[in-house]
Amino acid sequence: MSDFRIPLGKWVDVFVDWVTDTLGFLFDFIRVIFDGAYEGVDYMLASPPFWVIIAIAAVLAFLTRGWKFAVGAVIGLIIIVGVDQWGNAMDTLALVLVASALAILISVPLGILAAKSPVASSIIRPVLDFMQTMPAFVYLIPALILFRVGVVPGIVATIIFAMAPGVRLTELGIRGVDREVVEAGQAFGASPWRILRQIQLPLALPTIMAGINQVIMLSLSMVVISGMVGAGGLGSQVVMALNRIDVALGFEAGLAVVILAIYLDRLTAALGRGGTPLGRFVASRKQQKVEAQPQALRV
């Protein structure tokens, strides 16, 4: 058997050491920003009484899907309170919201760029394939080296793992807009930015929202893995249950993750489809104003 071996891992190790020594100040700055964002969101979710957050969640559920979803959301969140996982659930929700927001802020512009430029698309797609196929645990190693133990490496690993569907579906949605509609906008002299803002993005919104939904779901799937690097929340409870072989704790923490996942999935899916109770109310009010305007003019 040949002794030939490509020292790829060694090269990567040397590169990471170089990045740590050269750009350590930059990663410290990013760590402060991410940690501050997480602490702020976590404070807003964890500091009020649980019934305040449940009431807000119920109102959002009612405005997006109606009273049945609102009742289901209240029951699910009360179950989280009942199994004494409310604080951990809010920590997890804060991590998911921060990581998802950052992933969306990165993925949507990249998807627009890929849709507008074939060259950018040919570069971005292989990178996304690499990000989606690489095991999530691998992301934690450089994240731990660059950002140290805590919530920040969990956020960074979650962003890398979750942003791919946001890029892909944004590109797919914009490319799927009817070319004749775009050409009509160009015929009227609209600028490319105006065509993107007023034609392509509104028509591609359902597909983009489907990508945002997948970003949030993948972020939640990283909860347990993030718990292994000190991110806390429900992930740390699952890891603790695994170490202790504690079935009860593992089931309670896992159930809380499922409840959060179902709530966020239904909420974002409803926003993507449109036709929400709030949207219908706003549309009816606009229609009433349009119908009332000729009468006012006649008077």
The CA-atom distances, in angstroms, between 179 and each of 110, 194, 203, 204 are: 21, 15, 12, 13
| pLDDT 10s digits, 90-125 | 999 999 999 999 999 999 999 999 998 889 889 998
Identity (one letter) of the amino acid at 202?
A: P
The whole-angstrom separation of Cα 84 and Cα 186 is 58
The predicted structure's pLDDT at residue 263: 92
What is the CATH number that goes with domain 9-47+83-274?
1.10.3720.10
DSSP states of 213-239 as a string? HHHHHHHHHTHHHHHTTT--HHHHHHH
Instruction: Give the per-residue pLDDT at 297.
Output: 39
For residue 93, the model assigns a pLDDT of 92
Residue 86 binned pLDDT confidence (cut-offs 50, 70, 90):
very high
Of residues 299 and 94, the one with the higher pLDDT is 94
Split at pLDDT 50, 70, 90, the class of 275 is low
pTM, rounded to two decimals: 0.84
Compute the chain's Rg from CA coordinates. 23
